[in-house]
């Protein structure tokens, strides 16, 4: 069984109804956990200038994006030493949870924001390891839709 491989990846997020687009091209490490279950680790680029009180440079460079991938479920977790982290859970045809953590002004406490997401479709292709993931979902706050999104992951063989 495959232990891990380092592969070039392209990860993009596009809103279908808002002016939101993001794309990352980098190398990622893929770990096979079970037959159809993988973990993918990559460094997410830092978004500079959005924080009111930016952290010193050494702390800002430690953002890690971790994807747990299977044909039925995707979990995305982003952790950093800065002021922002998130975790999303998507399952095909179901409502999941999107959580965001924001560090307070004093730097010691965190506030959590919890939203719901609805997975419209989840498609994973590839033979031995994933080659392409397409995830279409809606983001919700109570009964208000906050947009429709497409997360696309391409892994070069």
pLDDT digits (tens, 9 = 90+) for 1-51: 456 789 999 999 999 999 999 998 999 999 998 888 999 999 866 655 545
CA distance linking residue 141 with residue 18, whole number of Å: 16
Give the domain range for residue 127: 4-155
pLDDT of residue 127: 78
Count CB atoms within 10 A of the CB of residue 27: 11
In this predicted structure, the answer to whether residue 58 has a pLDDT above a threshold of 50 is: no
pTM of the model: 0.82
**SS3 per-residue string spanning 70-131:** CCCEEEEEEECCCCEEEEEEEECCCEEEEEEEEECCCCCCEEEEEEEEEEEEEEEECCCCCC
Assign residue 105 the CATH number of its domain. Answer: 2.40.128.20
Number of structural domains the chain divides into: 1
Residue 36 in tokens: 């159809």
């Amino acid at each position: 069984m495959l232990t891990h491989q380092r592969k070039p990846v392209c990860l993009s997020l596009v809103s279908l109804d808002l002016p939101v687009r993001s794309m990352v091209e980098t190398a990622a490490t893929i770990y096979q956990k079970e037959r159809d279950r993988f973990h993918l680790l990559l460094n997410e680029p830092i978004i500079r200038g959005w924080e009111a009180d930016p952290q010193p440079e050494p702390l800002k460079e430690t953002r890690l994006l971790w994807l747990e991938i299977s044909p039925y479920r995707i979990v995305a977790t982003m952790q950093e030493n800065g002021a922002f982290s998130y975790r999303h859970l998507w399952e095909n045809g179901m409502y999941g949870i999107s959580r965001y953590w924001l560090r307070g002004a004093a730097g010691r406490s965190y506030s959590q924001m919890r939203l719901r997401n609805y997975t419209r479709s989840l498609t994973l292709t590839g033979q031995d390891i994933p080659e392409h993931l397409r995830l279409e979902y809606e983001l919700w706050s109570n009964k208000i839709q906050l947009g429709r999104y497409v997360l696309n992951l391409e892994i070069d063989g």
